[in-house]
Structure 1
Amino acid sequence: MNIKYEKNIEIELKLLTTIEENKNISQRSISKEINVALGLTNSLVKKFVKKGFLKLKQAPMKRFLYYLTPQGLIEKSRLTQEYIKTSLTFFKRAKQDFEEIFKLIQKNKKQTICLIGTGEICEIAILVSNHLNVNIDCIFDEKFQKKFFYGIPIKNNLNLITSRKNSFFILCETNAINLNSKKFSDLNEIIFSPKFMMINRKKTK
């Protein structure tokens, strides 16, 4: 299973769940709720109506009410099971990738380790580092407002990190930074990324 397939399952499950919980909801509100483009929401609704998972009912003000059919409830149950299965598969894959990175770090005896980006993938990285007794010095995230993430200091200024000797980064969120920006292309530090992200970036050391 690939990441795109897993993401599609998550989006479809969120859409059906959102409609089940709130029948009087517009497609625009659905797209905001599940965090996808309005065009994709419209496409999925049409697909589910065609497959018999959803029914539409005309409402005032040129709106529609959405209902899950019995077939739709069965599909939601199937997607839930599939989502759990793919999530466990993803966790195992991410855990293995981070284990490889941290074991390489331990061999190189680097002094400063910084994760890039906060989120669920970062949580997995922290979990693996704790298991292997690897110390994470900080997390770089320009947009994160809090001072700590799972007890690890948040740094919003890249210069405060790169001023340290023997430091390098581990990418946890692809949308956290632009790896092609001058800010990062000028770094001497190594930026690692787990294999499941499928990012091919030349190491600078």
Structure 2
Amino acid sequence: MIDGDGVPPVGSHDHHTLRLLSRIETGQLVTQRSLSKDLGIALGLTNLLIRRVAKKGWVKVVNIRPNRVRYLITPAGMIEKSRITREYLDNTVRLYTETRERIRASLQVISHEWSDADCAAAGVGDRKPVVFYGAGEVAEIGYVSMQGTDLRLTGVVDDHRTGTFFDLPIDEPAALRAATLNGRSFGRLVVMTFKQAPQIRLQLEGLGFPIERVCWLHPTAGRDGTLPLPRSTL
């Protein structure tokens, strides 16, 4: 999953099945209660999953003594586990690639709409300094996508995360000023999420931050990878 901003690489049902088969494959003696705790799901759902995988022949239920069973993964179960794992990896790569292209297209628009005259007026030099709103996985992909462009990350703010982001301190949004973050100048605030835009906009307005300096990641890109957005959108 990408930071709650994308979609799970596989469906939740397959996700639980994969974790269940992986846990049983270890060969350790497990119970439905311990599986429920390990998987973080209700005991009733664990029971349904066990019955499903047993019915499909992926797991064998062996009675070892009265009121005690052992779960063994079957060859068919190992094949199914490999299939789900492969699908998980394929979808993760696809999701990462799509997210990277969407972010890259948005960054291209930001750079294009930010003229050299704007840089000169702001006194920020040739590299265009930006601040990320958000320090999750989408922001990490954004940072990688930014390399080789004329954009430069000078700061990061996040509502919940603390610490550092690629050696930059993560600040609270309240530290934002119209053109600076803790004394560091920047020209655009890039919101690094595909969701929660209305809530973030309200918060920024409440902080008195100029919305015209905020850039939002566009949900979809054109066929040529560009985003035909008007300047007012940025």
Question: What TM-score results when the alignment is normalised by the length of structure 2?
Answer: 0.63
Structure 1 residues 61 and 108: alpha-carbon distance in aligned structure 2, compared to 1, 3 A threshold: farther
Structure 2 residue matching 1:117: 3-state secondary structure? coil
Distance (Å, rounded) in 2 between the aligned partners of 1:61 and 1:192: 61
Tell me by how many angstroms 1:54 deviates.
Answer: 1.9
CA gap of 1:70–1:170, structure 2 versus 1, over 3 A, is same
| 1:6 paired residue number | 10
Query: Residue 42 and residue 172 in structure 1: after superposition, are their counterparts in 2 closer, same or farther (change >3 A)?
Result: farther
Q: 1:107 to 1:30 in 2, by over 3 A?
A: farther
Length, aligned pairs only: 192
Is 1:180 aligned to residue 204 of structure 2?
A: no
1:52 partner SS: coil
Q: 1:86 to 1:114 in 2, by over 3 A?
A: same
Whole-angstrom distance in 2 between the partners of 1:138 and 1:32: 40
Aligned counterpart in structure 2 of residue 116 of structure 1, from 131, 134, 138: 134
**Aligned with residue 91 of structure 1, among 64, 88, 96:** 96
| Higher RCO (CA-CA < 8 Å; seq separation 6+) | 2
CA-to-aligned-CA distance 1:141-181 (integer Å, 9 cap, x gap):
34334x212323212x211124436432323485xx78537
Could you report, residue by residue, the CA deviation over 1:12-68 in whole angstroms, capped at 9, with x for unpaired residues? 33332233236334455545545x532654443332222121233457896654321
1:171 and 2:186 correspond: no
How far 1:93 sits from its partner (Å)?
Answer: 0.5
What is the rounded CA distance, in whole Å, between the counterparts of 1:71 and 1:111 in structure 2? 54
Name 1:160's counterpart in structure 2: 175
Query: Which one of 107, 110, 120 corresponds to residue 105 of structure 1?
Result: 110
Q: State the match for 1:19 in structure 2.
A: 24
| Alpha-carbon distance change, 31 to 160 in structure 1, aligned in 2, over 3 angstroms | farther
The 2-side partners of 1:103 and 1:6 are apart by 30
Q: 1:93 to 1:112 in 2, by over 3 A?
A: same
Distance 1:161 1:41 in 2: 47
- Could you tell me which runs of 5 or more consecutive residues in structure 1 were left unpaired when the two chains were aligned: 197-202
Identity %: 21
Equivalent position amino acid for 2:10 in 1: E
Taking a change above 3 Å as real, the CA distance of residues 188 and 5 of structure 1, as seen in their structure-2 partners, is same
Q: Is the Cα contact below 8 Å between 1:23 and 1:65 reproduced in 2?
A: no
**Is the 8 Å Cα contact of residues 129 and 153 (structure 2) preserved in structure 1?**
no
Compare CA radii of gyration and give the structure with the larger one: 2
Deviation of 1:137 after TM superposition, in Å, equals 2.6
Normalising by the residue count of structure 1, what TM-score does the alignment of the two structures yield?
A: 0.70
Distance 2:216 2:166 in 1: 21
How far apart, in 2, do the equivalents of 1:52 and 1:44 lie?
Answer: 12
Q: Where does structure 2 lack aligned partners over 5 or more consecutive residues?
A: 1-5, 115-127, 181-186, 221-231
Report the Cα distance in structure 1 between the residues aligned to 2:177 and 2:63, rounded to whole angstroms.
59
